[in-house]
Amino acid sequence: MLEALVCPVTHATLHYDAAKQELVSRAAGLAFPIRDGIPIMLVGEAQQIKAD
């Protein structure tokens, strides 16, 4: 299922962070939470992440 999801901002590939239960868009610098097994793909729910 992860392969079908893309960042709603950039349409780039998302990376799964199992430890934090997030889908990370490195292109947008956002991390989208996964709650009760459901990815929350709303920009307003995403957290800014630091660039590596």
Is the pLDDT assigned to residue 7 strictly greater than 80?
yes
Is the pLDDT assigned to residue 38 strictly greater than 70?
yes
Query: Residue 19: how many CB atoms within 10 A of its CB?
Result: 6
So what's the pLDDT on residue 50? 83
Question: What residues contact 16, with CB distance under 8 A and at least 6 apart?
Answer: 2, 22, 23, 24
Q: Which residue has the tokens 């868009």?
A: 25
- pTM here is 0.89
Is the pLDDT assigned to residue 32 strictly greater than 80?
yes
Selected residue with higher pLDDT from 51 and 28 = 28
